[in-house]
Structure 1
Amino acid sequence: MDNIILIGMPGAGKSTVGVLLAKTLGYAFLDTDLVIQQREGALLQSLVDSLGVEAFLDVEADAICSVECRGTVIAPGGSAVCRERAMSHLKALGRIVYLHLPLEELERRLNNISTRGIAMAPGETLADLFAYRAPLYRNYADLTVDVGRQSLEETVALVLRALR
Protein backbone atom coordinates (compact mmCIF):
# COMPACT_ATOMS: atom_id res chain seq x y z
CA MET A 1 0.00 0.00 0.00
CA ASP A 2 1.29 3.45 -0.83
CA ASN A 3 -1.33 5.96 0.36
CA ILE A 4 -4.77 5.32 1.79
CA ILE A 5 -7.48 7.89 1.12
CA LEU A 6 -10.57 7.97 3.35
CA ILE A 7 -13.67 9.49 1.76
CA GLY A 8 -17.16 9.96 3.12
CA MET A 9 -19.66 12.42 4.47
CA PRO A 10 -18.76 15.05 7.04
CA GLY A 11 -19.01 13.31 10.41
CA ALA A 12 -18.14 9.85 9.06
CA GLY A 13 -14.84 9.91 10.96
CA LYS A 14 -12.32 10.41 8.15
CA SER A 15 -9.93 12.54 10.21
CA THR A 16 -10.37 10.72 13.50
CA VAL A 17 -10.09 7.24 11.99
CA GLY A 18 -7.33 8.50 9.69
CA VAL A 19 -5.06 9.57 12.55
CA LEU A 20 -5.43 6.20 14.29
CA LEU A 21 -5.00 4.29 11.04
CA ALA A 22 -1.82 6.24 10.28
CA LYS A 23 -0.44 5.50 13.76
CA THR A 24 -1.27 1.81 13.36
CA LEU A 25 0.47 1.58 9.97
CA GLY A 26 3.36 3.93 10.76
CA TYR A 27 2.12 6.31 8.06
CA ALA A 28 1.90 10.08 7.99
CA PHE A 29 -1.55 11.70 8.17
CA LEU A 30 -2.83 14.54 5.98
CA ASP A 31 -6.17 16.34 6.32
CA THR A 32 -6.76 18.27 3.10
CA ASP A 33 -9.11 20.69 4.89
CA LEU A 34 -6.01 21.95 6.72
CA VAL A 35 -4.16 22.26 3.41
CA ILE A 36 -7.01 24.45 2.11
CA GLN A 37 -6.99 26.62 5.24
CA GLN A 38 -3.20 27.10 5.06
CA ARG A 39 -3.23 27.89 1.34
CA GLU A 40 -6.14 30.32 1.60
CA GLY A 41 -5.39 31.83 5.01
CA ALA A 42 -8.97 31.38 6.18
CA LEU A 43 -11.20 28.86 7.95
CA LEU A 44 -13.34 26.56 5.80
CA GLN A 45 -16.64 28.12 6.85
CA SER A 46 -15.35 31.61 6.03
CA LEU A 47 -14.28 30.36 2.60
CA VAL A 48 -17.65 28.73 1.88
CA ASP A 49 -19.43 31.89 3.05
CA SER A 50 -17.27 34.32 1.07
CA LEU A 51 -16.69 32.30 -2.12
CA GLY A 52 -19.94 30.37 -2.41
CA VAL A 53 -20.15 26.59 -2.76
CA GLU A 54 -19.05 26.21 -6.40
CA ALA A 55 -15.97 28.43 -6.07
CA PHE A 56 -15.10 26.72 -2.78
CA LEU A 57 -15.23 23.33 -4.52
CA ASP A 58 -12.75 24.63 -7.11
CA VAL A 59 -10.41 25.90 -4.37
CA GLU A 60 -10.70 22.53 -2.64
CA ALA A 61 -9.88 20.67 -5.87
CA ASP A 62 -6.84 22.93 -6.43
CA ALA A 63 -5.58 22.16 -2.92
CA ILE A 64 -6.13 18.41 -3.34
CA CYS A 65 -4.37 18.39 -6.70
CA SER A 66 -1.34 20.04 -5.04
CA VAL A 67 -0.88 17.08 -2.67
CA GLU A 68 2.05 14.78 -3.40
CA CYS A 69 2.97 12.21 -0.76
CA ARG A 70 3.77 8.58 -0.03
CA GLY A 71 3.05 6.40 2.97
CA THR A 72 0.24 8.70 4.06
CA VAL A 73 -3.36 8.35 5.18
CA ILE A 74 -5.21 11.20 3.47
CA ALA A 75 -8.54 12.56 4.69
CA PRO A 76 -10.05 14.89 2.09
CA GLY A 77 -13.12 16.96 2.82
CA GLY A 78 -16.46 15.28 2.22
CA SER A 79 -17.02 17.44 -0.84
CA ALA A 80 -13.86 16.25 -2.65
CA VAL A 81 -16.07 13.89 -4.68
CA CYS A 82 -17.81 16.89 -6.25
CA ARG A 83 -14.80 17.57 -8.50
CA GLU A 84 -13.64 14.78 -10.81
CA ARG A 85 -10.12 16.18 -11.12
CA ALA A 86 -9.65 16.05 -7.35
CA MET A 87 -10.78 12.45 -7.23
CA SER A 88 -8.64 11.45 -10.21
CA HIS A 89 -5.63 12.89 -8.41
CA LEU A 90 -6.49 11.06 -5.19
CA LYS A 91 -7.06 7.80 -7.11
CA ALA A 92 -3.56 8.17 -8.58
CA LEU A 93 -2.14 8.58 -5.06
CA GLY A 94 -3.55 5.39 -3.54
CA ARG A 95 -6.47 3.22 -2.55
CA ILE A 96 -9.73 4.97 -1.77
CA VAL A 97 -11.78 3.72 1.16
CA TYR A 98 -15.35 4.98 1.57
CA LEU A 99 -16.39 5.23 5.21
CA HIS A 100 -20.12 4.74 4.81
CA LEU A 101 -22.23 5.98 7.69
CA PRO A 102 -26.04 5.86 7.52
CA LEU A 103 -27.83 9.21 7.29
CA GLU A 104 -29.50 8.72 10.69
CA GLU A 105 -26.11 8.36 12.39
CA LEU A 106 -24.70 11.37 10.49
CA GLU A 107 -27.62 13.47 11.72
CA ARG A 108 -26.93 12.30 15.27
CA ARG A 109 -23.22 13.17 15.03
CA LEU A 110 -23.43 16.54 13.25
CA ASN A 111 -24.74 19.23 15.54
CA ASN A 112 -22.53 22.01 14.15
CA ILE A 113 -23.49 21.77 10.49
CA SER A 114 -23.74 25.55 9.95
CA THR A 115 -20.26 26.31 11.31
CA ARG A 116 -18.28 23.22 10.30
CA GLY A 117 -17.27 24.40 6.82
CA ILE A 118 -19.50 21.99 4.92
CA ALA A 119 -19.99 22.88 1.25
CA MET A 120 -23.78 23.15 1.14
CA ALA A 121 -26.00 25.56 -0.72
CA PRO A 122 -28.40 27.72 1.31
CA GLY A 123 -31.51 25.71 2.11
CA GLU A 124 -29.80 22.39 1.38
CA THR A 125 -30.20 19.73 4.08
CA LEU A 126 -27.88 16.97 5.21
CA ALA A 127 -30.30 14.50 3.59
CA ASP A 128 -29.98 16.37 0.26
CA LEU A 129 -26.19 16.28 0.52
CA PHE A 130 -26.22 12.58 1.40
CA ALA A 131 -28.50 11.72 -1.54
CA TYR A 132 -26.22 13.59 -3.95
CA ARG A 133 -22.85 12.43 -2.62
CA ALA A 134 -23.45 8.78 -1.63
CA PRO A 135 -23.44 7.53 -5.26
CA LEU A 136 -20.25 9.54 -5.92
CA TYR A 137 -18.50 8.00 -2.90
CA ARG A 138 -19.46 4.52 -4.07
CA ASN A 139 -18.31 5.29 -7.61
CA TYR A 140 -14.84 6.47 -6.58
CA ALA A 141 -14.23 3.96 -3.78
CA ASP A 142 -11.97 0.96 -4.20
CA LEU A 143 -13.40 -0.38 -0.93
CA THR A 144 -16.41 0.48 1.21
CA VAL A 145 -16.41 0.05 4.98
CA ASP A 146 -19.69 0.39 6.85
CA VAL A 147 -19.10 2.38 10.01
CA GLY A 148 -21.55 3.20 12.72
CA ARG A 149 -21.61 2.95 16.46
CA GLN A 150 -18.54 0.76 16.86
CA SER A 151 -15.49 2.12 18.66
CA LEU A 152 -12.72 3.95 16.80
CA GLU A 153 -10.43 0.97 17.30
CA GLU A 154 -13.06 -1.36 15.81
CA THR A 155 -13.48 0.99 12.83
CA VAL A 156 -9.71 1.04 12.23
CA ALA A 157 -9.69 -2.78 12.41
CA LEU A 158 -12.50 -2.93 9.83
CA VAL A 159 -10.56 -0.63 7.48
CA LEU A 160 -7.38 -2.71 7.90
CA ARG A 161 -9.30 -5.92 7.22
CA ALA A 162 -10.84 -4.41 4.08
CA LEU A 163 -7.42 -3.25 2.84
CA ARG A 164 -5.97 -6.76 3.18
Structure 2
Amino acid sequence: MTSNPAGSNLVLIGMPGSGKSTVGRRLAQQLGRDFLDTDNLLERRQGCTVQQLVDRHGLVFFRRAEQAVVTSLQAQNCVIATGGSAVYSDTAMQHLRELGRILFLQVSISTVRRRIASAMDRGLVMYPNETIAGLYHQRKPLYQRWADITVDNNRPLTELRVAQIIDRLSAQRII
Protein backbone atom coordinates (compact mmCIF):
# COMPACT_ATOMS: atom_id res chain seq x y z
CA MET A 1 0.00 0.00 0.00
CA THR A 2 1.25 3.47 -0.85
CA SER A 3 1.06 6.70 1.10
CA ASN A 4 -0.38 9.28 -1.25
CA PRO A 5 -0.99 12.90 -0.31
CA ALA A 6 -4.47 14.30 0.23
CA GLY A 7 -6.11 15.18 -3.05
CA SER A 8 -4.66 12.24 -4.95
CA ASN A 9 -6.72 10.21 -7.38
CA LEU A 10 -9.04 7.30 -6.67
CA VAL A 11 -8.49 4.52 -9.20
CA LEU A 12 -11.22 1.91 -9.70
CA ILE A 13 -10.36 -1.57 -10.96
CA GLY A 14 -12.52 -4.64 -11.45
CA MET A 15 -14.29 -6.88 -13.91
CA PRO A 16 -16.49 -5.47 -16.66
CA GLY A 17 -19.89 -5.04 -15.05
CA SER A 18 -18.38 -4.42 -11.60
CA GLY A 19 -19.61 -0.83 -11.68
CA LYS A 20 -16.37 1.08 -12.22
CA SER A 21 -17.97 3.72 -14.45
CA THR A 22 -21.21 3.96 -12.48
CA VAL A 23 -19.56 4.08 -9.06
CA GLY A 24 -16.80 6.32 -10.41
CA ARG A 25 -19.20 8.95 -11.72
CA ARG A 26 -21.18 8.97 -8.47
CA LEU A 27 -18.06 9.15 -6.29
CA ALA A 28 -16.64 11.96 -8.43
CA GLN A 29 -19.89 13.89 -8.16
CA GLN A 30 -20.16 13.44 -4.39
CA LEU A 31 -16.48 14.26 -3.80
CA GLY A 32 -16.35 17.21 -6.24
CA ARG A 33 -13.73 15.52 -8.41
CA ASP A 34 -13.39 15.05 -12.15
CA PHE A 35 -14.15 11.61 -13.58
CA LEU A 36 -11.98 9.85 -16.16
CA ASP A 37 -12.75 6.54 -17.88
CA THR A 38 -9.70 4.98 -19.56
CA ASP A 39 -11.88 2.99 -21.98
CA ASN A 40 -13.45 6.26 -23.17
CA LEU A 41 -10.02 7.88 -23.48
CA LEU A 42 -8.78 4.87 -25.48
CA GLU A 43 -11.81 4.99 -27.79
CA ARG A 44 -11.28 8.71 -28.43
CA ARG A 45 -7.58 8.22 -29.11
CA GLN A 46 -8.17 5.27 -31.48
CA GLY A 47 -11.35 6.60 -33.11
CA CYS A 48 -13.32 3.39 -32.54
CA THR A 49 -14.89 1.33 -29.78
CA VAL A 50 -12.88 -1.06 -27.64
CA GLN A 51 -14.53 -4.01 -29.38
CA GLN A 52 -13.78 -2.59 -32.85
CA LEU A 53 -10.16 -2.08 -31.81
CA VAL A 54 -9.87 -5.71 -30.69
CA ASP A 55 -11.68 -6.98 -33.82
CA ARG A 56 -9.47 -4.96 -36.18
CA HIS A 57 -6.08 -5.29 -34.51
CA GLY A 58 -6.24 -8.10 -31.95
CA LEU A 59 -5.71 -8.36 -28.20
CA VAL A 60 -1.97 -7.70 -28.22
CA PHE A 61 -2.46 -4.37 -30.02
CA PHE A 62 -5.38 -3.50 -27.75
CA ARG A 63 -3.40 -4.13 -24.57
CA ARG A 64 -0.49 -2.03 -25.83
CA ALA A 65 -2.88 0.80 -26.73
CA GLU A 66 -4.58 0.52 -23.35
CA GLN A 67 -1.23 0.63 -21.56
CA ALA A 68 -0.23 3.72 -23.57
CA VAL A 69 -3.43 5.52 -22.55
CA VAL A 70 -3.07 4.60 -18.89
CA THR A 71 0.61 5.52 -18.65
CA SER A 72 -0.06 8.88 -20.32
CA LEU A 73 -2.48 9.92 -17.56
CA GLN A 74 -1.34 12.94 -15.56
CA ALA A 75 -4.51 13.40 -13.51
CA GLN A 76 -4.86 15.06 -10.13
CA ASN A 77 -7.78 14.84 -7.72
CA CYS A 78 -9.84 12.64 -10.07
CA VAL A 79 -11.77 9.42 -9.90
CA ILE A 80 -10.41 7.13 -12.62
CA ALA A 81 -12.28 4.07 -13.93
CA THR A 82 -9.95 1.66 -15.71
CA GLY A 83 -10.67 -0.94 -18.34
CA GLY A 84 -11.01 -4.39 -16.79
CA SER A 85 -7.89 -5.66 -18.52
CA ALA A 86 -5.57 -2.87 -17.30
CA VAL A 87 -4.37 -5.23 -14.55
CA TYR A 88 -2.51 -7.32 -17.13
CA SER A 89 0.07 -4.53 -17.44
CA ASP A 90 2.39 -4.09 -14.48
CA THR A 91 3.63 -0.88 -16.11
CA ALA A 92 0.11 0.57 -16.31
CA MET A 93 -0.80 -0.53 -12.79
CA GLN A 94 2.41 0.86 -11.30
CA HIS A 95 1.63 4.21 -12.96
CA LEU A 96 -1.91 4.13 -11.56
CA ARG A 97 -0.53 3.33 -8.10
CA GLU A 98 1.72 6.39 -8.38
CA LEU A 99 -1.32 8.50 -9.29
CA GLY A 100 -3.45 7.47 -6.33
CA ARG A 101 -5.15 4.81 -4.27
CA ILE A 102 -6.56 1.74 -5.99
CA LEU A 103 -10.06 0.47 -5.17
CA PHE A 104 -11.07 -3.00 -6.34
CA LEU A 105 -14.82 -3.21 -6.96
CA GLN A 106 -15.37 -6.89 -6.27
CA VAL A 107 -18.45 -8.62 -7.62
CA SER A 108 -19.46 -12.25 -8.02
CA ILE A 109 -19.43 -14.07 -11.34
CA SER A 110 -23.23 -14.12 -11.28
CA THR A 111 -23.29 -10.32 -10.86
CA VAL A 112 -20.93 -9.91 -13.82
CA ARG A 113 -23.11 -12.18 -15.96
CA ARG A 114 -26.28 -10.36 -14.93
CA ARG A 115 -24.84 -6.91 -15.63
CA ILE A 116 -23.29 -7.77 -18.96
CA ALA A 117 -26.05 -8.24 -21.52
CA SER A 118 -23.64 -9.11 -24.32
CA ALA A 119 -19.87 -9.40 -24.23
CA MET A 120 -19.68 -8.02 -27.77
CA ASP A 121 -21.74 -4.94 -26.89
CA ARG A 122 -19.72 -4.30 -23.72
CA GLY A 123 -16.37 -4.64 -25.42
CA LEU A 124 -15.40 -7.44 -23.06
CA VAL A 125 -11.82 -8.18 -24.04
CA MET A 126 -11.20 -11.90 -24.07
CA TYR A 127 -9.77 -14.61 -26.27
CA PRO A 128 -12.07 -16.69 -28.46
CA ASN A 129 -13.51 -19.63 -26.49
CA GLU A 130 -12.62 -17.93 -23.18
CA THR A 131 -15.45 -17.84 -20.65
CA ILE A 132 -16.49 -15.08 -18.28
CA ALA A 133 -15.83 -17.48 -15.39
CA GLY A 134 -12.34 -18.23 -16.71
CA LEU A 135 -11.61 -14.54 -17.15
CA TYR A 136 -12.92 -13.82 -13.63
CA HIS A 137 -10.68 -16.45 -12.02
CA GLN A 138 -7.70 -15.27 -14.04
CA ARG A 139 -8.13 -11.58 -13.17
CA LYS A 140 -9.30 -11.72 -9.55
CA PRO A 141 -5.81 -12.39 -8.09
CA LEU A 142 -4.45 -9.50 -10.17
CA TYR A 143 -7.14 -7.13 -8.88
CA GLN A 144 -6.41 -8.27 -5.32
CA ARG A 145 -2.67 -7.80 -5.83
CA TRP A 146 -3.01 -4.15 -6.83
CA ALA A 147 -5.88 -3.12 -4.54
CA ASP A 148 -5.32 -0.77 -1.63
CA ILE A 149 -8.93 -1.44 -0.61
CA THR A 150 -11.60 -3.88 -1.79
CA VAL A 151 -15.24 -2.85 -1.92
CA ASP A 152 -18.04 -5.38 -2.44
CA ASN A 153 -20.25 -4.00 -5.21
CA ASN A 154 -22.80 -6.78 -5.72
CA ARG A 155 -25.71 -4.69 -4.43
CA PRO A 156 -27.50 -2.03 -6.48
CA LEU A 157 -25.87 1.39 -6.27
CA THR A 158 -27.97 3.82 -4.24
CA GLU A 159 -27.13 7.16 -2.64
CA LEU A 160 -26.82 5.32 0.68
CA ARG A 161 -24.40 2.83 -0.87
CA VAL A 162 -22.29 5.68 -2.30
CA ALA A 163 -22.25 7.32 1.15
CA GLN A 164 -21.17 4.00 2.71
CA ILE A 165 -18.29 3.70 0.23
CA ILE A 166 -17.23 7.30 0.95
CA ASP A 167 -17.43 6.65 4.71
CA ARG A 168 -15.23 3.58 4.34
CA LEU A 169 -12.69 5.46 2.22
CA SER A 170 -12.65 8.26 4.78
CA ALA A 171 -12.30 5.88 7.74
CA GLN A 172 -9.28 4.30 6.07
CA ARG A 173 -7.85 7.75 5.29
CA ILE A 174 -7.98 7.18 1.57
CA ILE A 175 -9.90 10.42 1.05
TM interval, shorter chain, is: over 0.9
> What is the one-letter code of the residue matched to 1:71?
N
What's the offset of the Cα at 1:55? 1.8
1:24 to 27, 30, 43: 30
- The answer on 1:91 being equivalent to 2:97 is yes
- The answer on 1:129 being equivalent to 2:129 is no
Residue deviations 1:101-135, cap 9 Å, x none?
01111111111212221210011111011010000
Q: What is the Cα-based RMSD across aligned positions, in Å? A: 1.1
- SS in structure 1 at match of 2:122: coil
- Find the aligned partners of 1:114 and 1:129 in 2 and give their Cα distance: 15
What's the offset of the Cα at 1:152? 3.3
- How many correspondences in the alignment? 164
Q: 1:53 to 1:152 in 2, by over 3 A?
A: farther
Partner of 1:33: 39
Percent identity between the two aligned chains: 45
- The answer on 1:51 being equivalent to 2:57 is yes
- Find the aligned partners of 2:130 and 2:160 in 1 and give their Cα distance: 32
What's the offset of the Cα at 1:149? 2.0
The unaligned stretches of length 5 or more in structure 1 are none
> What is the one-letter code of the residue matched to 1:30?
L
The unaligned stretches of length 5 or more in structure 2 are 1-5, 171-175
State the TM-score, normalizing by the size of structure 2: 0.90
Runs of 4+ deviating beyond 6 Å:
none
Contact 1:28-1:73 at 8 Å conserved across structures = yes
- SS in structure 1 at match of 2:70: helix
Contact 2:23-2:157 at 8 Å conserved across structures = no
Contact 2:109-2:133 at 8 Å conserved across structures = yes
> What is the one-letter code of the residue matched to 1:128?
G
> What is the one-letter code of the residue matched to 1:18?
G
> What is the one-letter code of the residue matched to 1:84?
D
- SS in structure 2 at match of 1:79: helix
- SS in structure 2 at match of 1:36: helix
